[in-house]
Structure 1
Amino acid sequence: MSSSVPSRRDCANAIRALSMDAVQKANSGHPGAPMGMADIAQVLWTDFLSHSPVNPGWVNRDRFVMSNGHGSMLVYSLLHLSGYDVSIDDIRNFRQLHSKTPGHPEFGYTPGVETTTGPLG
């Protein structure tokens, strides 16, 4: 049995699919930014940023801040796909009260979210 590493395109498409599905299920949200930024965000996240899913508070990590917070599903998808404590159930609960995946990233709710952002950054 062979296992293969997903291609960049596959990873970007997974970000798009997670974002579309979460916004559709919540019947609320903004899928445009995550869908349009999936390719570049995946490359940046995978090839250039230093971070640690097992230690989100690692002092030497790079910080990824999504200033247009309404594109939050991009961040949540990246966190989920790279092994942070953001489960598929957390993605399914996007924009729900007390969820780990609120409509705009909020510091302290989601491991890996660096700062609270909103619709105007």
Structure 2
Amino acid sequence: RRGGRGARTAARATAVSAEVDTECVNAIRFLAVDAVNKANSGHPGAPMGQAPIGYVLFAEEMSFNPGDPDWANRDRFVLSTGHGCMLQYSLLHLAGYSSVSMDDIKQFRQWGSKTPGHPENFETAGIEVTTGPLGMGISNAVGLAAAEAHLAAVYNKPDMPLVDHYTYCIMGDGCMQEGISHESC
């Protein structure tokens, strides 16, 4: 996690940390591929390609608390490419969210599971917004960021930043081809 708000420093890579990072990224990829394979349905490409980005965000950049997924000042993560949601489920599971267990991952895309084929915020704690149609997540992320800016303007005082979270969004090329993404940006 961040070494303190505002102090964005890059960790020095060592042979050991690089190896651990690679193993973590591969764990995300294999969880995604295995779940899609077991369900005989889903999209493994996005989680495989986006795993390094997701790993860096969750392991080194974002501020969150798996024990309190509704913590008001948590960073927000939006996966606009909702069809690649096994990335998000894998990240939540590996980050320690109890809302996505290994059994939940094994039930990916099964009727009534907490891991449906597109992330649903009312179904799984840790999912900020429901995404499905391409571009929708970008618009949601813009709205979350605008709300954060408004809250910061209202509640932050000099030397007392109560609201200082960030919104991160992973999007794909298809998201950028939809009008909804252009309208919000």
TM-score after normalising by structure 2: 0.61
User: Which structure has the higher relative contact order (CA within 8 Å, separation 6+)?
Assistant: 1
Shift of 1:44: 1.1
Q: Structure 1: any 5+ residue segments left out of the alignment?
A: none
Letter in structure 2 aligned against 1:96: Q
Which residue number corresponds to residue 118 of structure 1? Answer: 132
Cα displacement (A) at 1:9: 0.8
* Map of 2:70 onto structure 1: 57
1:103 maps to what in 2? 117
Q: Distance in 2 between matches of 1:40 and 1:67?
A: 14
Q: What are the equivalent positions in structure 2 for 1:35-46 lying under 5 Å apart? A: 35-46=48-59
Amino acid of the structure 1 residue aligned with 2:105: I
> 1:51 deviation in Å?
0.6
After superposition, the C-alpha distances for 1:9-52 in whole angstroms (9 at most, x for unaligned) are 11100000000000000000000010001111101111110011
Amino acid at match of 1:15: I
The DSSP-based 3-state class of the residue aligned with 2:79 is: coil
Residues in 1 aligned to 2:77 and 2:126: alpha-carbon distance in whole angstroms: 9
Q: Match of 2:70, as an amino acid?
A: G
Q: Which of 33, 39, 55 is the matching residue for 2:46? A: 33
Rounded Cα–Cα distance in structure 2 between residues aligned with 1:99 and 1:23: 14
* Aligned match for 2:89, one of 76, 80, 83: 76
Q: Which has the higher helix share?
A: 2
Supply the RMSD in Å over aligned alpha carbons: 1.5
CA distance in 2, matches of 1:67, 1:54: 24
State percent identity of aligned pairs: 62
Q: Secondary structure at the match of 1:65?
A: strand
Cα distance in 2 for partners of 1:82, 1:11 equals 11
**Is structure 2 residue 38 aligned with structure 1 residue 20?**
no
Structure 2 unmatched runs, 5+: 1-15, 137-185
Residue 104 of structure 2 aligns with which residue?
90
Query: Which structure has the bigger radius of gyration?
Result: 2
Deviation at 1:119, TM superposition (A): 4.0
TM-score by length of 1: 0.93
